[in-house]
Structure formats: C-alpha cells, structure tokens
Amino acid sequence: MSGDLVTDLSLIDRLLDVIEHDILPLTTSGVRCGNKIFGAAILRKSNRTLVIAETNNETESPLWHGETHALKRFYELARPTRPASRDCLFLATHEPCSLCLSAITWCGFDNFYYLFSHEDSGDAFAIPHDLKILKEVFTLDPGGYNAKNAYWTSYALVALVAAQPLPEQARLQARIAGLGARYQALSREYQLAKGRSDIPLP
C-alpha cells in the first residue's frame, strides 16, 4: 500500500459511501432476519470499484460474520471476474474479530479498513464477544493484536479522519456520526429480536 492511498481523502469518502450505499441496505435486511449488524466489502485497489458487499449471516451459520460471509461470496465469483486479493481493499464496518482477522490473513489481503472499533462493538453495540474472545482465548488486551504486521496493515477510518485538515475532519466526523446513528437503530432492532435466534454467541 502506498502512503498516498492511505491519506487520500477521496478514499475515506469512497469507503464511507460503500458502507452507506452498499453494505447498510444489506445489513438492514439481514437484521430483519435476525442477523447481527456487521458488514464488509471488497473493492479493487486500482479504481476502487466494488467487487462484493455482504452482511452478517449467522442465522445460516455462526461462521458467517460480515467479513467471512463477504470472503465466502468473493471466492464463489468465477475466477476470471474475481481479482486477486492482493489487488483489493478490504473494508469492515466494525473492527474484525479474531476469526475474521485470521480469515482476512489466510485469504491474502495486505490491508483492511474499519469504521467502528472493538470497544464500540462492546460498548455502543452490546456485542462483547470480540474483546472477550481475545482476552479469554488469546490472553490479549484490547488493541493487543498487531495492527501492522508481516501480512497486512489495518486502518481505523476514525484515525484517518482525525489526521485530515480541520474543515474536512469536521465534515467526515459528522458523516460518521450519521452512520453511527443508523447502526445504533439497527443494533436496537437486533438486540430486541436476538432472543428468538439460535446464534451460539448472540
């Protein structure tokens, strides 16, 4: 990944566009079916066009988190139409859990971007499993995994926004707050309905 790509304001807007227009509609339907609020997308690095967007589908299988479900669908694409993972950007609405961190690694992506943090998932969205699994299974504190390592570099969109000049920073923060409100509404819907699902870790 070049430094230019990382600090490019248009990339931040593009990734927020994908969350708003490609992932959120799928998640809205997914939550109605009893699934969690997490989603993901894969884009081409070259022109930032969307390859695939997906949302959590744990009512089918607890393995289908937003990220792993996107990866499953990505590898179902016919090879001629599927770009190499090295040529793609990986976007997650929420910081990937340990399962998804490993899945992204095994699939050969050299990057991922995410909007909401593990702490947000636990506090704002009442899904404590990401942090609890890191602590119980891997004895890792919050933020305890390598955000940049030999396989990939991860980028918190909130941190990229904080590095922007002030007028743009305020605009993007307002945009993220708007998305946060929409995810909060979906989260309330999920939490109200989750008692009826048989997801092992609801």
Q: What is the binding site for Zn ion (CB under 5 A)?
A: 65, 97, 99-100
Residue 99, C-beta contacts closer than 8 angstroms, at least 6 positions apart: 63, 65, 68
Q: For 118, how many CA atoms within 13 A lie in the half-sphere containing its CB?
A: 19
What is the distance between the alpha carbons of residues 130 and 28, in angstroms, rounded to a whole number?
A: 22
Which one, 11 or 57, has the nearer CB to Zn ion? 57
Angle between helix axes 98-106 and 66-76 (nearest 10 degrees) is: 20
Which one, 43 or 94, has the nearer CB to Zn ion? 94
DSSP assignment string, 156-194: EHHHHHHTS-HHHHHHHHHHHHHHHHHHHHHHHHHHHHG
Which one, 42 or 172, has the nearer CB to Zn ion? 42
Write down the least CB distance from residue 38 to Zn ion, Å: 7
Write down the least CB distance from residue 100 to Zn ion, Å: 3
Write down the least CB distance from residue 179 to Zn ion, Å: 19
Write down the least CB distance from residue 70 to Zn ion, Å: 11
Write down the least CB distance from residue 96 to Zn ion, Å: 5
Dihedral angle over CA of 109, 114, 118, 124, nearest 10: -150
Which one, 11 or 27, has the nearer CB to Zn ion? 27
Which one, 114 or 155, has the nearer CB to Zn ion? 114
